[in-house]
Structure 1
Amino acid sequence: MLRLDDRDIQILKVLSAEGRISKADLARRVNLSPSPCWERLKRLEEAGVIAGYHAEVSLKKVAPHVVVFVAAELESHRSENFQAFERAVQRHEEIVACWALGGGFDYLLQIVARDIDSYQRLIDQLLESNLGLARYFTYIVTKPVKSGNAMPFETLMPDIGIPKNVTSDKEK
């Protein structure tokens, strides 16, 4: 793990909420001059701490859709079964996120489909692919309550003194 100090965490906190902030504004917000801030940012990117920059798209303004979470359990728990399932997940654009789980279910999938019929066609494809899908439970999202990419750095790293005056514009 890369060793991070409070300034690195400040940079990450601002960027996790506002990926498009200019470098000059970022430097000002974390109380650094632009050159040292840019050096830190490059170091964080090169170390893979910053994995990418993304836009948060309001899908309801773009296209009709349904968001579905699926808890999936495989029949067999051999390594090759997990690998086959994970490869299949990668091939489907509608599966926007997938997490391997410990405990009752093996995977949690987040699916964004045009409608319930499109979702069901995807599930049918997965079932017909002989991936060893034993059971699945469908949870349809009725409304978003909280979402976003801002990370709870103060909770995760309480020993790093993050000044409370370093906030994103979204938090104001």
Structure 2
Amino acid sequence: MHKLDRYDLKILRILAEEGRTTKSALAEAINLSVTPAWERVRKLEAAGLIKGYRAQIDWGALFKSQQVLVEITLARHTAQDMRRFEERLASAPEIAFCYATGGGVDYLAMVRARDIDHYQRFIDQLLLEDLGIERYFTYIVTKTIKTDEGSVPAELIADQ
């Protein structure tokens, strides 16, 4: 991939905020004609910078559920232990997101469960699978303040 220019960065910012924008609206927003704008989108996709497009569903409006944040620390930090743990969480439909972190804990994950009992059964299953979990701390989400993953602060890309 070539070095990103201001057009590429604008495209990424626009698509992150509104993935369903039309080709013509995108071209107009970045001040290019449709064909060159869309060629840039295809290059960004081919380079892996655009991973995909999807709808943000408010599952909570459809189904009663409980969101739980979990801090997880592993007993051992070998590449094999971490890979096995990460692969297991990546394949679990209950996991909304999981981040490896530096600092006091190894991972921070969001679990979506029907209720607290469902969450605890999920955690118990992970413990039974001997994934090397040394300890975990549970935080019940009581209110969602913001979940927007699409917006990017202008300052973040201003110096690019």
Q: Identify the TM-score tier after normalising by the shorter chain.
A: over 0.9
Shift of 1:60: 2.0
Normalising by structure 1, we get a TM-score of 0.87
CA distance in 2, matches of 1:143, 1:7: 37
Unmatched runs of 5 consecutive residues or more in structure 2: none
Say what the alpha-carbon RMSD is for the aligned residues.
1.4
Instruction: Give the equivalent residue in structure 1 for 2:124.
Output: 124
Quick one: which amino acid aligns to residue 115 of structure 1? D
Instruction: Give the equivalent residue in structure 2 for 1:4.
Output: 4
SS of the residue corresponding to residue 49 of structure 1 reads coil
Shift of 1:36: 0.8
1:4-153 matches, within 5 Å, as 4-153=4-153
1:153–1:48 distance in 2 versus 1, CA, 3 Å: farther
CA distance in 1, matches of 2:41, 2:83: 35
CA distance in 2, matches of 1:2, 1:110: 35
121-130 or 74-83, which deviates more: 74-83
Instruction: Give the equivalent residue in structure 2 for 1:169.
Output: none
Contact 1:2 / 1:47 at 8 angstroms: preserved in 2?
A: no
Quick one: which amino acid aligns to residue 48 of structure 1? G
Shift of 1:150: 2.3
Instruction: Give the equivalent residue in structure 2 for 1:164.
Output: none
Quick one: which amino acid aligns to residue 50 of structure 1? I
Contact 1:13 / 1:153 at 8 angstroms: preserved in 2?
A: no
Normalising by structure 2, we get a TM-score of 0.94
CA distance in 1, matches of 2:158, 2:33: 26
CA distance in 1, matches of 2:59, 2:134: 32
Shift of 1:152: 2.2
Contact 1:69 / 1:111 at 8 angstroms: preserved in 2?
A: yes
Unmatched runs of 5 consecutive residues or more in structure 1: 161-172
